[in-house]
Amino acid sequence: MTLKIIGAAPGRTGTVSLMTALEYLGYGPCHHMKACIENAQQTKWFLEAANGQPMDWHDVFEHYQAAVDWPASAYYKNLLETFPEALVIFSDRPAEAWYDSVASTIYQVVPSLPGWLRKLVPHLDRWGQMVEQTIWQNELSGRFQDRRFAVQFFKDRLAEVRDVVPPEQLLVHSAKEGWEPLCRFLNVKVPSIPYPRANEARRIQSAIKVLKAANYFPHVILIAVVISAIALTAV
């Protein structure tokens, strides 16, 4: 399997919808941040990449036909060099709206991870390190809280992508545009079902609330885990 589609846009740009759409069109599996949460090896690779170690991108994406979202999009130029025939999609949205979405969701996730939980689950700790280094340090230079800087980063990334990627290999796509431009770009038939409209913001915000509560009431969380484990043994 070889990587056929590279997502060059940051997270919170409709990447879950795009991932779902690409997989429906036959470009699956599609890599997403979810892959790192679920797969310790993926987190290990991207943490190494974030720390400047050379990567064999063929190994990283051996089982994927497409990749969208952070952390993969941070390396879109490396991926295009490795997979020169791949098509590139930049999932676009207004830069100010992008900033607000990131600030209210994923920017809060790692700081909300309870220290005791990170010690208990080494993979979760490495994932937190990977996110911090890849996104907030390497991509945004430790300046995400500077709204003007971060908004300009988004605009500059799109301009860079337009400059780097050959026009015939690039699609700048908004989820609001739906199937038609995406399918035309991929030269596939337009599905009869609605374009995916995944809204992850509420789910992420709910998860953040749980994580913050776990910082103050770890014993409650542990008791719930134990009770759940006992219940499973009775099934």
- pTM (whole model) above 0.95: no
Per the structure, the complete domain to which residue 14 belongs is given by 5-233
Q: What is the CATH number of the domain that holds 184?
A: 3.40.50.300
Neighbours of 196 (CB within 10 A): 18
Q: Is 90 exceeded by the pLDDT of residue 14?
A: yes
pLDDT in tens, 44-66: 999 999 999 999 999 999 999 99
- Of the listed ranges 24-28, 110-114, 179-183, the one predicted with least confidence: 110-114
What is the SS3 string spanning the chain? CCCCEEECCCCCCCHHHHHHHHHHCCCCCEECHHHHHHCHHHHHHHHHHHCCCCCCHHHHCCCCCEECCCCHHHHHHHHHHHCCCCEEEEECCCHHHHHHHHHHCHHHHHHHCCHHHHHHCHHHHHHHHHHHHHHHHHHCCCCCCCHHHHHHHHHHHHHHHHHHCCHHHEEEECHHHCHHHHHHHHCCCCCCCCCCCCCCHHHHHHHHHHHHHHHHCHHHHHHHHHHHHHHHHCC
- Of the listed ranges 5-19, 97-111, 146-160, 184-198, the one predicted with least confidence: 97-111
Q: How many domains does the chain have?
A: 1
pLDDT in tens, 114-165: 777 788 889 989 999 999 999 999 999 999 999 999 999 999 999 999 999 9
